[in-house]
Each structure stands twice: as structure tokens, then as C-alpha cells.
Amino acid sequence: MTGDRGRVSTDLRVGCGDDGRVGFGEVMDHPWDEDALCAVCPGQVHDPGRFDVVDGPQPGCRYDSTTGYRREAASGVPVCIHPERIGVRPGRYASAGERWPAPTSSGAAVGPMPTDADALAGWVTALVRHAGPGRVDVVLGDAEREAARSFPAEVVVEALRAALSAL
């Protein structure tokens, strides 16, 4: 989708259908392990097909502090520079409409609730990221009840806030 200044809009969430095509309005579980990505990867906030993947830093792809990830300067398309971390070959998935490769793994399974309060937010965030469409509220409720049995309320609330901010 092109914005009014020729920039590609990345505001809509998309997903891949059974045929591998990207469709607007759908939300999908990311096929990569978010913990393996760098902190400024567009894969932390965008679905497959909504950003390009290149092999290492490229001229014209600079970090944009307003979005928190790299963008292609001319088009504004988000860009991941670590194909080995995202798990796909380099491609112009958002800017040229190349087909996103079929997933080979759904990422690491979320383990049991941690016993360390400092790790609780990461655990709840991972649960939310692996929740199926329409299941985030159920997953958050279950996580809240389980965490409340082991941690003080303020720790649980901070973990829930962290998970919600990652959506």
C-alpha cells in the first residue's frame, strides 16, 4: 500500500494464507523465535511479508529512531539485516511483493513459568506472541492466574503490561 508521498505504509497487520500469499487484516503467529532477533528487527513488530530481508547492512538502509528499526531510505519499507536470525533468505518481500518462504519451524516452544521475577515479563510476552488469533485474552488470563500464585501483584501487573506493549 502506498502512502501519499510514495512511501509504503506498514500500518496494517497481514498474514500468509495456505497458499503463502500475504493478506491484509489477518494476524498470524510469527514463524521465528523473537528472542533470537536483534532488538531493532522489524520482525519484532511486523508480520512476514511486511518487511524486506537483506544480507547485512546496506547503503540506503538506515536505523530510524522514530520506528525503532531500519528502513529503506527511498521507500520507507522496514528492513531486517540478519536473514540467519529471521530464518529466511534475503528478499524484497514488502517492497517488491516477493512471496514469503514457507515456515520451517514455529520457533521455540514456551517453557514453564520461571521462578525468577525478573524473567516473568519475558515468559508472559512469549506466551502472548505464540497465542493463536483471538486467544490473547485467554492466554493472558491463564498467565495472570498462574503468576499470581507465585509472585506479588505488582510483579504480575508489570509482566502483563510488558506483554501487552509487545503486541
Residue 13's H or E segment, with its range, is none
Does 66 lie in the same domain as 17?
Answer: yes
pTM value is: 0.48
In terms of DSSP H, where are the helices of the chain?
83-86, 117-129, 136-148, 153-165
Domain count of the chain?
2
Rounded Cα distance between 4 and 35, Å, is 35
Residue 140 has pLDDT above 50, yes or no: yes
Q: Which three cell numbers stand for residue 80?
A: 531486517
Q: What is the average per-residue pLDDT within 58-72?
A: 92
Judge if 93 and 19 occupy the same domain: yes
Domain boundary among 72, 90, 108: 108
Residue 143 sits in the same domain as residue 97 = no
Shared-domain flag, residues 98 and 128: no
* pLDDT per residue as tens digits for the range 92-121: 999 999 998 875 444 556 788 999 998 998
If asked whether residues 101 and 143 sit together in one domain, one would say: no
- Domain span at 102: 1-108
Which of residues 108, 126, 156 is at a domain's end? 108
At residue 85 the predicted structure's pLDDT band, cuts being 50, 70 and 90, is confident
Q: Residue with C-alpha cell 514457507?
A: 102
State the Cα–Cα distance between residues 161 and 156, nearest whole angstrom. Answer: 9
Q: Is the CB of residue 51 less than 8 Å from the CB of residue 79?
A: yes
67 neighbors 78 (Cβ within 8 angstroms): yes
